[in-house]
Amino acid sequence: MTYSGFRLIREALTGHGGWKPVWRNPEPQSAYDFVIVGGGGHGLATAHYLAKVYKKSRIAVLEKGWIGGGNVGRNTTIIRSNYLLPGNEPFYELSLQLWEGLEQDLNYNAMVSQRGVMNLFHSDAQRDAFRRRGNSMILHGSDAELLDADGVRREAPFLNFDNARFPIKGALMHRRGGTVRHDAVAWGYARSADRHGVDIIQNCEVTGFRIEQNRVLGVETSRGYIGAGKVGVAVAGSSGKVMSHAGMRLPIESHVLQAFVSEGLKPVLPGVITFGAGHFYVSQSDKGGLVFGGDLDGYNTYAQRGNLPVVEDVCEGGMALMPIIGRTRLLRMWGGVMDMSMDGSPIIDRTGIEGLYFNGGWCYGGFKATPASGMVFAHLLATDAPHDTAAAYRFDRFEKGLMIDEKGVGAQPNLH
């Protein structure tokens, strides 16, 4: 079924009886050519591009829970292409370009909204760093604009400009950045993958790999053994756990990140705003809620819930930046498990085991990467060669000292 304005009107006039389930609910087959472990944004996008762009068939996505239950449905929905390093920026620019055409590609309204991302700066040194980053973005085909304090005031007059411990001196504005409705991305990719013949199997946890003579033959699951020509693992926060079944120890730690939504307010925020003197970022949903987040909870965990000290810390950041939210009530909050790599950048690579491929280490920035991650992982699975824009995301960069350390903070996941 194709979605369109015409279809919507017809259904509205006929009692909405014609809508069909968005994807099938197939029983697992005994074997597939490609098994993708993890039905988050990255796994589903991989299956979509593998089938649609690389014309592969006999593909299954195995998800231990339900589609949209992982980080893809838990994030603060920000997309952007505003990185500094050559290993990163071309990849995130590819991703933003794919976001720009995503709804047409999927025939699904994911509410892609390029409302702009404004990174505030509060010191001369920060201005220099942002100018440098903006230049790098422009050189890689992205957009960047340096605003002074008056420029920021025109965009967001309600911010705490002068009466603050860290006065706002300006911002790096990235107008093509913005937000996307996160769970619609999972549903849109799932629907399109299904339409291209991919079996999406929910409630199917991968509990082990069958490996013989250093070659993966299939996966053990809670619904029985499933044979596979190639296995691609894209389980985000569960990367360490799942890859340990193949005897691998990853340069990744798992931490919780929390997100918050306030009660609905009249439209006030023009786009995404990030605080440069504390860890706080905020946008406003179409329903009016302020959607915001901050720092990681410090400890390692696989639990999808956070703790109260971080709630206090994030709300303090919000108050320092925009005191007008002081009387706003918090409506909802939740946590997701982040796969924090040791340099803050992802890994998309073959493993030492023939036929086993890995995609992870997304830290708290993997939502914006979803389309490009799916595209390049599909490329790797289909061709056995890394995609040009992801050539730097290899396991061996940690061995060789070729880290892609965007923030220059080393192996401290809590600082990435």
Ligand X SMILES: Cc1cc2nc3c(=O)[nH]c(=O)nc-3n(C[C@H](O)[C@H](O)[C@H](O)COP(=O)(O)OP(=O)(O)OC[C@H]3O[C@@H](n4cnc5c(N)ncnc54)[C@H](O)[C@@H]3O)c2cc1C
Q: How far apart are CA 187 and CA 191, in angstroms?
A: 6
Figure out which of the listed residues 174, 196, 350, 368 binds ligand X, where binding follows CB under 6 A. Answer: 368
Site for ligand X in 126-145 (CB under 6 A): none
Q: How far apart are CA 18 and CA 25, in angstroms?
A: 19
Minimum separation from the CB atom of position 389 to ligand X (A):
16
Minimum separation from the CB atom of position 278 to ligand X (A):
17
The three-class DSSP label of residue 325 is helix
Kindly state whether residue 70 participates in binding ligand X, applying the rule CB under 6 A: yes
Considering only CA atoms, which of 6, 67, 12 is closest in space to residue 42?
67
Q: How far apart are CA 240 and CA 169, in angstroms?
A: 41
Q: What is the DSSP string of 88-106?
A: THHHHHHHHHHHHHHHHHH
Letters for 316-345 (x = contact with ligand X by CB under 6 A, - = none) are: --------------------x-x-------
Kindly state whether residue 367 participates in binding ligand X, applying the rule CB under 6 A: yes
Minimum separation from the CB atom of position 6 to ligand X (A):
32
Q: How far apart are CA 72 and CA 92, in angstroms?
A: 17
CB 384 within 8 A of CB 350: yes
Q: How far apart are CA 91 and CA 230, in angstroms?
A: 24
- For the chain, what is the radius of gyration of the CA atoms? 21
Minimum separation from the CB atom of position 11 to ligand X (A):
29
CB 282 within 8 A of CB 273: yes
Element (H, E) at 397: helix 397-400
Q: Which residue is nearest to ligand X (CB)?
A: 40
Letters for 91-130 (x = contact with ligand X by CB under 6 A, - = none) are: ----------------------------------------
Figure out which of the listed residues 52, 74, 230, 255 binds ligand X, where binding follows CB under 6 A. Answer: 74
Figure out which of the listed residues 36, 76, 92, 176 binds ligand X, where binding follows CB under 6 A. Answer: 76
Minimum separation from the CB atom of position 128 to ligand X (A):
25
Site for ligand X in 264-303 (CB under 6 A): 293
Joined together, the tokens standing for residue 256 give 């919780």
Q: Which stretch binds ligand X (CB under 6 A): 3-11, 141-149, 255-263, 378-386?
A: 255-263
Considering only CA atoms, which of 49, 310, 289, 313 is closest in space to residue 179?
289
Figure out which of the listed residues 35, 48, 60, 71 binds ligand X, where binding follows CB under 6 A. Answer: 71
Figure out which of the listed residues 357, 364, 377, 393 binds ligand X, where binding follows CB under 6 A. Answer: 364
Q: How far apart are CA 127 and CA 106, in angstroms?
A: 39
- Helix then strand then coil, % of the chain, to nearest 5: 30, 25, 40
Figure out which of the listed residues 39, 232, 361, 371 binds ligand X, where binding follows CB under 6 A. Answer: 39
Q: How far apart are CA 124 and CA 122, in angstroms?
A: 7
Q: How far apart are CA 340 and CA 342, in angstroms?
A: 7
Minimum separation from the CB atom of position 407 to ligand X (A):
15
Cβ distance to ligand X smaller for residue 36 or 152: 36
Figure out which of the listed residues 318, 344, 366, 386 binds ligand X, where binding follows CB under 6 A. Answer: 366
Letters for 161-200 (x = contact with ligand X by CB under 6 A, - = none) are: ----------------------------------------
**Three-state secondary structure of 234-258:** CCHHHHHHHHHCCCCCCCEEEEEEE
Cβ distance to ligand X smaller for residue 65 or 141: 65
180 residue type, one letter? V
Figure out which of the listed residues 52, 64, 127, 397 binds ligand X, where binding follows CB under 6 A. Answer: 64
Cβ distance to ligand X smaller for residue 170 or 336: 336
Figure out which of the listed residues 40, 116, 271, 361 binds ligand X, where binding follows CB under 6 A. Answer: 40
Instruction: Say how many residues touch ligand X, by CB under 6 A.
Output: 40
Q: How far apart are CA 18 and CA 96, in angstroms?
A: 34
Kindly state whether residue 216 participates in binding ligand X, applying the rule CB under 6 A: no
Tokens 């944004």, residue? 41
What residues make contact with ligand X under the rule CB under 6 A? Answer: 37-43, 62-65, 69-72, 74-78, 205-206, 234-238, 242, 257-259, 293, 336, 338, 362, 364-368
